[in-house]
Amino acid sequence: WIRNATSGLGSGERAYIEAREKLVQPAIEHMMAARGLETPPRTPVIGVALAGGGYRAMLTGLGGIMSMMNESTE
């Protein structure tokens, strides 16, 4: 199934993003306030891309995720 990218997001994807923003925004505000930073004007879209293909890549990805998790005091 292919659609023209100029038509914007599908209704299901837009609904998911809007629902997700309601959950993410308070966490972003808390994280920024804890570091003395201003809250961004809109909820940032955050993604994580990990390499695949082997044991070494899996350990590297896991180390990165564990490091991000240790950033939180909760």
- Condensed to tens digits (0 to 9), the pLDDT of residues 22-42 reads 999 999 999 899 889 999 999
Taking a C-beta distance cutoff of 8 angstroms, is the pair 60, 51 a contact?
Answer: yes
Both structure tokens of 71: 């950033």
Q: What is the DSSP string of 8-74?
A: ---HHHHHHHHHHHHHHHHHHHHHHHHTT-PPPSSPPP-------SSHHHHHHHHHHHHHHHHT---
Question: Are the CB atoms for 32 and 38 separated by under 8 Å?
Answer: yes
Looking at the predicted structure, is the pLDDT value of residue 74 above 60? no
Q: Where are the domains of the chain?
A: 8-70
3-class DSSP state of 6: helix
**Confidence label for 70 from pLDDT (cuts 50, 70 and 90):** confident
pLDDT of 73 over the 70 cut: no
